[in-house]
Structure 1
Amino acid sequence: MPDDGPDHGRDDGPAVHDDQQARLLGKVARYTADYRAGLAARPVGARADDAELRARLGGPLPQEPSSPEAVVDALVAAAEDGLVASAGPRYFGFVVGGSSPASLAADWLTSGWDQNAGAFALSPASAVAEDVAGTWLLELLGLPAGASVGFTTGATMANATCLAAARSSVLARAGWDVERDGLFGAPPIHVVVGEDRHISIELALRYLGLGSDRVHRVAADDQGRMRADDLAAVLDGCSGPTVVAAQAGNVNSGSFDPVDEVCRLSRAHDAWVHVDGAFGIWAAASPRHRHLVRGVEAADSWAVDAHKWLNVPYDSGFAIVADPRAHLRATGLPSAGYLEPHDSIRRDNADWVPEMSRRARGFTVWAAIRELGRSGVADLVDRCCRHAARFAQALGAAPGVEILGDVVLNQVLVRFHRPDGDDDDDADALTRAVVAAVQAEGTCWLGGTTWRGRAAMRISVSGGSTTDADVDRTVAAILAAAGDGSLPAPAERRG
C-alpha cells in the first residue's frame, strides 16, 4: 500500500496479541475450575471485612495502563477472601441457587461472544435462544403457550415489567392510554397485595409511580398465605382499575397464596392477577409439588427467577405475560429511524424488558434446560424440598429447637430456646446469637429473619449440589453452635 505520510492523529491503542489473550483466558479458566472444585471445602462465608477489602481493592486512580494478566492477578488476590461460597453445597442464606455445569459454561461463552442482545439485528442467535428457551419455560411451568417472555435481571425487574403491563391493561380498559398520556389525571388504580408480600413488589410499585403505601393489604393466615375471605371483602371495596398481586412461595415460610381462589375472585371484579413466583412457581415443574400452585395458569402475569431454582448464573429472571399485546404495549420499543420496524416473526429481545443494550441471558437458560430436561428440573425441585424436610426433622428432634410453621417447600424457620425455659426476648437473643455463631464458624451460611414478631433462623435450600451429607454436616454445626457455652446468658427477669 502507498505510504500517505505520517498520521499525527493516529492512535491504535495498546496492542493485545491473540496469544496473550489466549494465555490469560486459559489462566482464568483454570482458576475458575479450581475455585469451583474447592467450593465444598472452603468456609462458606466471606473471610475479609469491608475495611480489608477496601484496602485491597481501593487506592488512587491508576494513571498508567497495566498488563491484563497483572490486573486479573490483582483482582483475584484482592477479592478472594471477600467471596461467599453461594454456589457451593452448604449455602442456605436467602434463596440463592448455584449454577449447573452447562449453564456456567454457557455464561462463559456469553461473555466471550459479547453480544448486545437487544435487537435481532445485533445478535440473531441471542434472539432465537431466548425465544426457544422461553417456549420451553412455559411448557415446564404449565403456563399458557401463547404468553410472552421477557428475560430480566431477576424477579424484581420481572415484577416491575409485569406490573407495567398490568397498569397499561387496566387503564386501557378504563379508556386511558398511560404510555401516551402518563399517570397525570389517569383513573386511580387499586393495587391489592397480601400482608406477607415480598419487598420486590413494593419496589416495583415505586418504580411504576403507583406507590408502595397506597395499596390495599389482604390479611394473611399463620403460614403467610393470603386469606381468600379477606380478599373478597377488599375487592368489594375497589371500584375501577384493579391489580391483584398474589405470591407463590413466601420467602420465609415457603407457603403459597390460594392462587385459584385469587383468580376466581379477581375475575369477578375484572381485575388483573399477577403472581410473584420468584422461586415457588418452580413447584409447577414437579409432579409431586404441582398441587401447591393449583390454578396459577389462570393468572395474567408471572414473575420468575432462573438464578434461584433453575440454577443458572446471575443475573436471570423472567417476566411472563399471558397477553403479549399488553406486554408489548408497556415495554415495546418506540419507533426510531435507526431501528428496524417491529417484526411479528423475528424477536427483538428489548421489546419485552425495560432495557435496550443488555446481556444475552437466553444462552444460560437454554443450556440449563437442555442439560436438565423436564425430569431433571423436577428432580432438582424435589431434592431441595427433601433436604428442607430433612433439616426440619433433624433440628426439630433436638431439645430446645422449635420449627416454626409447616415445611411445604424448601424454606425452614428455626427458633432456639434454653432447656430450662425462656421468655420471647431470651429466645430472640439466643436465636440471633446462634445464627451469628453459625455464620462465623464457616461450615455453612444461613440467615436470620423475623417471623410473626419472633426472631428465627431461616434455611433456604436451592442449590443443586447439596447432598444429604451436607444437610447432616450443617445440622451438626447448628446444634454445636446452639450448645456453645459462650452464647449470651438469659436476660435477668424482672420482679
Structure 2
Amino acid sequence: MTRIASERALIAQADALAQTYLEGIDQRPPYPDAAALAGLGAFAEDLPAQGRDAEETLRLLDIYGSPATTASNGPRYFGFVIGAALPSAAAAERLMLAWDQCASSFDNSPVAATVEKIAAGWLLDILDLPRESAVGFGTSATACTLSALSAARRSLLARAGWDFDRDGLIGAPEIKVVISETVHITVKKALRLLGFGMARLIVAPVDAQGRIDPDRLPPLDDRTILCLQAGEVNTGEFDPFVPLIAAARKAGAWVHVDGAFGLWARASSRHALTSGVEEADSWTTDGHKWLNTPYDGAVTICRDADALAQAMNADAVYATSARDAQKNLTLEFSRRARGIPIWAALRTLGREGVAALVDQHCDQASWLADQLRAGGLEVLNRVVLNQVLVRCGSDAETARVRETVLATGAGWFGNTVWQGRPAFRLSLSSWRTAREDVARLAEELLKAARA
C-alpha cells in the first residue's frame, strides 16, 4: 500500500469509528460505568521501543477509550454548560484539522485569517458589542481572561505614566482588582497567574442571587479593574451592569465582564438581562459552551483594539503581521484556527438559530424548575437562564437524591455549594437535549426525592 493510500485508509477508519460513536450517542450512558473505567488500564503500557501499528493504536483508543467517555456530546449531560458539538461546527473542525494550518497570520494561513476575521465581525454583531473591538480566538475563558486582564492592567498603568513593557511591575503603581463574592474560579486563576495576590483582591458583596450589590460596591478609582459576571455559575444571574459600569466610568476604572456562557443571552429573547454590558471595556465568552462548538474555542473581546494588540503582540523580525493577526490578539503564536468552527456554527444557525438555541435551553430550565418545585424540591435560584440550582431538604438527602438519579442514567450532573450548604446544579446547553430528556430527568429526580 502506498503512503497516500495508507493515510487515506487510516483517516477513513477514524471517520467510521467516529460516526459509529455518534450514532450511539443517544443511548450512551451519561457517565462511564465501572467496567469502562477499569478498561482504561489498557493504556498503562511502557513506551514502545519500536513504533506500533497506527490502525492498532486507533483501535485501542476506540475499544477502551470510547466507553470511558462522558457523553457530554449527548442529550442527557447536565453537569456543566457543555454544549454538544453542532454537526456543522464539528465538520468544519474535521476539515480544518486536515488543513493543519498554523493560524497565526495571513502569511501562514490566508484562509484562516480571512474566515476568523469574518467570524470576529459576526460575533460583535450577534452579541451587539462595540464594532471597533478587537476579537481574539483563544483556547478557553481562562486564557482569554488572562489576555483581557493583561491588556487592562497595561492600559491603566500607561494612563498613570508607567511603561509596563519596559519597566515591568517592580516599582509600578498598584493596580487594584474588585471581584464579585461569587466570582468564577477561572477569573481568580487568571488574576493569580498575573501576580495579583489573592489576599489583595477586593471582594464586592452580593445579593441572595449572587449579583454584586451596587449599594455596597467598594470604592473604585482610575487604577482599578472591576470584574463583573454575565451568568453566575450556579444561579445564571447577571450583575446589574448599568449602575456598576456607571460607577466605574465615573471613577476611570476598567470593567471586564466574564460572560463565558451568559453573554449569549444577548443573542436571544433574554437580551434584557445583559442591559448595559456593552459599556464595559472587555469581555470573554466561549464558543464551546452555549454556541455548541467543539472544544476548545473561546473569545477575548476588547473595546480598545490597540490595547489588546499591544499587550499580546508577538511580532518577530522573521514574522511581522497586521495588528489584528490572531497571534497579536491571543496568548498563542502557534495556534489552530479556533474561529473557524465558530464561523461555521454562526453561518449554519444564523441569527434566528442562535436565538432559538439559547431560548430552548432557558425554556427547558424554567419548565424543569417548575416541575421540581411542584414536587417538593427546593429550587434555590430564580432560573432566569439555563441553570437550575436544587437542594433536597437535608444535606444527606441532597447527596442521596443525586446519587440515585445518576445510577438511573437519566442524566449526569454535579455537586456544588451554595451559601455554605451542598446543592446540585442542572445545566441545560446541548442542542441534542429534547423535552423528553428533560422530562425523564425531572421524573427520576422526583421519584428519588419521594423515596
What range describes the TM-score normalised by the shorter chain of this pair? over 0.9
2:445 is matched with: 478
2:272 is matched with: 291
Verify: 1:159 aligned to 2:145, yes or no.
yes
**How many residues end up aligned between the 2 structures?**
451
| Cα shift at 1:52 | 2.1
CA distance in 1, matches of 2:402, 2:9: 43
| Cα shift at 1:374 | 0.3
Match of 2:306 among 325, 349, 353: 325
Verify: 1:274 aligned to 2:256, yes or no.
yes
| Cα shift at 1:483 | 3.7
1:460 is matched with: 427
1:380 is matched with: 357
| Cα shift at 1:50 | 9.4
Q: Deviations over 1:8-29 (max 9, x none)?
A: xxxxxxx962122212212221
- Contact map agreement 2:21 2:66 (CA 8 A) in 1: no
Q: 1:48 to 1:81 in 2, by over 3 A?
A: farther
1:358 is matched with: 335
1:222 is matched with: 208
Q: Deviations over 1:346-396 (max 9, x none)?
A: x42110011111111121011000000000000000000001011101111
Match of 2:77 among 85, 91, 105: 91
Q: 1:73 to 1:16 in 2, by over 3 A?
A: farther
- Contact map agreement 1:154 1:318 (CA 8 A) in 2: yes
CA distance in 2, matches of 1:50, 1:221: 43
- Contact map agreement 2:72 2:83 (CA 8 A) in 1: yes
Correspondence 1:49-448 to 2 at 5 A: 52-231=38-217, 234-235=218-219, 238-286=220-268, 288-333=269-314, 335-340=315-320, 342-343=321-322, 347-399=324-376, 401-417=377-393, 427-448=394-415
CA distance in 2, matches of 1:145, 1:95: 27
SS of the counterpart of 1:439? helix
- Contact map agreement 2:221 2:252 (CA 8 A) in 1: no
- Contact map agreement 2:104 2:335 (CA 8 A) in 1: yes
Structure 1: give runs of 5+ residues left out of the alignment. 1-14, 418-426, 485-495
Q: Deviations over 1:87-140 (max 9, x none)?
A: 111110011111111001011111111111122211111111111001000000
| Cα shift at 1:228 | 0.6
**Structure with greater Cα Rg:** 1
| Cα shift at 1:54 | 4.6
Q: Deviations over 1:280-339 (max 9, x none)?
A: 0100001x2000000111000001011001000000100000001110121111x42211
CA distance in 2, matches of 1:428, 1:476: 21
In the alignment, residue 245 of structure 1 is paired with which amino acid? Answer: C
CA distance in 1, matches of 2:178, 2:58: 49
CA distance in 1, matches of 2:199, 2:435: 43
In the alignment, residue 408 of structure 1 is paired with which amino acid? Answer: V
CA distance in 1, matches of 2:36, 2:188: 29
CA distance in 2, matches of 1:212, 1:150: 27
Q: 1:483 to 1:59 in 2, by over 3 A?
A: farther
- Contact map agreement 1:154 1:306 (CA 8 A) in 2: no
Q: 1:272 to 1:309 in 2, by over 3 A?
A: same
| Cα shift at 1:240 | 4.9
Match of 1:43 among 26, 29, 42: 29
In the alignment, residue 288 of structure 2 is paired with which amino acid? Answer: H
Q: Deviations over 1:18-41 (max 9, x none)?
A: 122212212221221221121111
SS of the counterpart of 1:264? helix
CA distance in 2, matches of 1:144, 1:456: 38
| Cα shift at 1:433 | 1.9
Moved more, 121-130 or 25-34: 25-34
In the alignment, residue 55 of structure 2 is paired with which amino acid? Answer: E
1:20 is matched with: 6
| Cα shift at 1:211 | 2.2
| Cα shift at 1:473 | 1.0
- Contact map agreement 1:48 1:82 (CA 8 A) in 2: no
TM-score normalised by structure 2 residue count: 0.97
CA distance in 2, matches of 1:379, 1:239: 41
- Contact map agreement 1:120 1:349 (CA 8 A) in 2: no
CA distance in 1, matches of 2:405, 2:45: 33
In the alignment, residue 295 of structure 2 is paired with which amino acid? Answer: Y
Moved more, 154-163 or 301-310: 154-163
- Contact map agreement 2:221 2:253 (CA 8 A) in 1: no
SS of the counterpart of 2:424? strand
SS of the counterpart of 2:7? helix
- Contact map agreement 1:203 1:212 (CA 8 A) in 2: no
CA distance in 1, matches of 2:3, 2:450: 59
SS of the counterpart of 1:268? helix
How many percent identity over aligned positions? 43
In the alignment, residue 58 of structure 1 is paired with which amino acid? Answer: A
Runs of 4+ in 1 over 4 A off after TM superposition: 48-51
TM-score normalised by structure 1 residue count: 0.88
| Cα shift at 1:49 | 7.4
| Cα shift at 1:482 | 2.9
CA distance in 1, matches of 2:190, 2:338: 21
CA distance in 2, matches of 1:473, 1:405: 21
- Contact map agreement 2:40 2:68 (CA 8 A) in 1: no
Give RMSD over aligned pairs. Answer: 1.5
In the alignment, residue 301 of structure 1 is paired with which amino acid? Answer: S
